[in-house]
Structure 1
Amino acid sequence: MPLLRRLWIYQRERIPLFKTAVLLAVFSAASVNVSALLAGRPFPHWAAYATAFAISLIVFMQLRACDEYKDGPDDQRFRPERPIPRGLVSLRLILTIGAALVPVAVFVAWLYFPPLIVLLALVWVWLALMTVEFFVPDWLKARPILYLVSHMAIMPLLDLFVTGVEWLPAGGGPAAALFLFLLLSFVNGCVLEIGRKTWAPENEREGVETYSNLWGVRRAVTVWIAITGFSFVLLVGVGFATGHVVATAIPGLAMLVWAWTVAFAMRNAPDGKHQAKLDTVSGLWVFVCYSAAGFSPLAAKVLS
């Protein structure tokens, strides 16, 4: 097949661009909005939103490329149906694309506000350390909680850059309450990771590390329920900090009720159908969280 056709199939299987772009558009725009709301500043020029979105998308593509490198040996052995093991595209090609996006991201950041490159460099340094498993792969994999925490730390670092698109040009540093939003990004990363790696018993595979295999389905789902609850508490905290707690909390609470309904169904009857729903609702939870934090205050102002 032509190269472009093979790359299209690759993105569809490994990082669906439309779905990813929608989530990142909400994530990046909400982050810029929250940064401005917390500091009581007007929203920035549209170029800030375009910069935050473009570089967020690039970083997520690079995350996928680094995962392909990191997980390559296990994929060859246990997941031969994936695009690289089955020969659809080469690992070298995917890594080359990821590397080629570095100067693109640097140029986009420089074009908007050159000091942003420092924050972007912090993201890339952590991504590089993640790719080599912080030079202690066996030790880290033997400690799954520490593994999760170390890898999900990339989310608040990315969000520090994205919010920095707003607060760095404004001067004076980030708002004091921004740490709540960064912590929310970290917790939501855990929601996504545990949600997509909690499987029904019949779907477990040799060589594929899942939290359901590690802890058992009931405990993995219980942990997911607890983390989404903590995420909601942080969301409410962000609402208090922006001065729009009711507008922020209502959509979050509605989504939490639905998410927990799906989770309890998975815990009581762990099958493939409920596994798929838990995976889906994990992504929707993150989508609603950022939407509530970044856009509900705007809706409240319009309605008032």
Structure 2
Amino acid sequence: MDSTQYKRNRLDELRRYFIFMKERFGLIGSSFMITLFVLAHYGLVYIKSDLVIETHLLFAVILGSIIFFVKLRLYDEIKDYEVDLIQNPDRPLPRGLVTRDELKEGIEKRIMLESILFYGAGIEAFSSILLAIAYSLLMYKEFFIGKYIRPHLTTYATSHTIVTFFLSLAIFSAFTQSFIWNLDGEYIFFSLMSWLLFNIFELGRKMYQPFEERDQVESYSKVWTRPGATLLVLIHASLIQWLIHKIEFFKDPLFLMIFRIPVAILLLVSLLYLLLKKSVTANLYRNYSTVFILLNYVIILFFLAKAALN
């Protein structure tokens, strides 16, 4: 293959990859949310310990975390391929825009990249990200019991979203230069809170009105019924409120009052979804599950930044 043909192939690969990312990951929006996620960890470490975290380390952890989430997206595309051939043939992989071999190669490259980026933060961060990677690979293989857990949507999803807990611990390890077993208990509570936030995102994006449900396509509103599914989300939100009280900095009354606002909005959106059986209210609920994460991290970052500047 001459150099001209090689360049053409590379450009075509990049073009296809860009389309894939645009359709299945939403690089700008997702990167923004992940950046907030990492910055919240950074801010909490700074406030609690006054550690000086170098800028290049912060950017390495943000980039490594974005790569980690992209890798999770590639996992899902491969795992869902057989189902998507029937139910979602217009997605990039079923329609042939990319191949499974290309996605598998992409997974391998991203594991190497995220490992290198976290290794730059020290052996503590490296060991922690290896734990998160190991758990993610178990997810990829569906814990070798896929035929047993796939029919149980909530169990399946929850076992997968736990990976965000391990990633959160790895981020704290990177910023504190501590092994996981030496992390402050408040960081553990924050990591649990982050997992619950991502679980709300997962639950909320698969909520529909009865007339929107599709045969052979699982949803939480179908499994739990609409009232049951919204109650499950609200229980998650309540647990987040409980966990935030476990962190000394966030016991400030003003913070706690403002931190309840996203939950109040969630309750309102839930009532609209339940009372008005229209596609617009279901769409509102699905969209707010993303906004809910953003609001929580924005509020947390605002108060952390305010304290840091004082």
Q: TM-score with structure 1 length normalisation?
A: 0.90
The runs of at least 4 aligned residues of structure 1 exceeding 6 Å deviation read none
Deviation, 1:196, is: 0.4
Aligned to 1:279: 286
Of 157-166 and 98-107, the range deviating more from structure 2: 98-107
Query: 1:37 corresponds to which letter in structure 2?
Result: I
Q: Distance between the aligned counterparts of 1:50 and 1:301, measured in 2?
A: 19
Whether 2:268 is the aligned partner of 1:261: answer yes
Deviation, 1:128, is: 0.9
Q: Distance between the aligned counterparts of 1:259 and 1:102, measured in 2?
A: 36
Q: Distance between the aligned counterparts of 2:130 and 2:180, measured in 1?
A: 20
Aligned to 2:3: none
Aligned to 1:292: 299
Q: Which of 18, 22, 29 is the matching residue for 1:8?
A: 18
Q: Distance between the aligned counterparts of 2:45 and 2:57, measured in 1?
A: 12
Deviation, 1:301, is: 5.5
Whether 2:174 is the aligned partner of 1:165: answer yes
1:140, 1:147 within 8 Å by CA — same for their partners in 2? yes
CA separation of 1:43/1:273 partners in 2, compared to 1, >3 Å: closer, same or farther? farther
Q: Which of 274, 277, 281 is the matching residue for 1:270?
A: 277
Whether 2:98 is the aligned partner of 1:89: answer yes
Q: Give the match's secondary structure for 1:89.
A: coil
Of 93-102 and 144-153, the range deviating more from structure 2: 144-153
Q: Which of 74, 88, 91 is the matching residue for 1:79?
A: 88
Q: Distance between the aligned counterparts of 2:300 and 2:183, measured in 1?
A: 17
CA separation of 1:30/1:217 partners in 2, compared to 1, >3 Å: closer, same or farther? same
Query: 1:159 corresponds to which letter in structure 2?
Result: S
Of 216-225 and 182-191, the range deviating more from structure 2: 216-225
Instruction: Show CA shifts across 1:224-260 (max 9, x none).
Output: 122222222323433xx22552353233212221122
Aligned to 1:22: 32
Aligned to 2:134: 125
CA separation of 1:144/1:2 partners in 2, compared to 1, >3 Å: closer, same or farther? closer
Of 209-218 and 284-293, the range deviating more from structure 2: 284-293
1:247, 1:296 within 8 Å by CA — same for their partners in 2? no
Deviation, 1:119, is: 0.8
Deviation, 1:81, is: 1.4
Aligned to 1:146: 155
CA separation of 1:88/1:142 partners in 2, compared to 1, >3 Å: closer, same or farther? closer
Unaligned runs of 5+ in 2: 1-10
Q: Give the match's secondary structure for 1:84.
A: coil
Whether 2:38 is the aligned partner of 1:31: answer no
Whether 2:260 is the aligned partner of 1:223: answer no
Q: Distance between the aligned counterparts of 2:52 and 2:68, measured in 1?
A: 24
Aligned to 2:197: 188
Unaligned runs of 5+ in 1: none
CA separation of 1:260/1:174 partners in 2, compared to 1, >3 Å: closer, same or farther? same
Q: Distance between the aligned counterparts of 2:139 and 2:195, measured in 1?
A: 15
Q: Which of 142, 145, 157 is the matching residue for 1:136?
A: 145
Query: Where do residues 232-271 of structure 1 align in structure 2 (5 Å cutoff)?
Result: 232-238=241-247, 241-242=248-249, 245-271=252-278
2:200, 2:289 within 8 Å by CA — same for their partners in 1? yes
CA separation of 1:172/1:72 partners in 2, compared to 1, >3 Å: closer, same or farther? closer
Of 182-191 and 284-293, the range deviating more from structure 2: 284-293
Of 76-85 and 219-228, the range deviating more from structure 2: 219-228
Aligned residues: 300
Whether 2:115 is the aligned partner of 1:106: answer yes
Aligned to 2:74: 65
Deviation, 1:149, is: 2.7
1:236, 1:245 within 8 Å by CA — same for their partners in 2? no
Q: Give the match's secondary structure for 2:50.
A: coil
Deviation, 1:300, is: 4.5
Q: TM-score with structure 2 length normalisation?
A: 0.89
1:78, 1:206 within 8 Å by CA — same for their partners in 2? no
Q: Give the match's secondary structure for 1:184.
A: helix
Query: 1:29 corresponds to which letter in structure 2?
Result: L
Of 228-237 and 84-93, the range deviating more from structure 2: 228-237
Q: Distance between the aligned counterparts of 2:150 and 2:170, measured in 1?
A: 28
Aligned to 2:216: 207
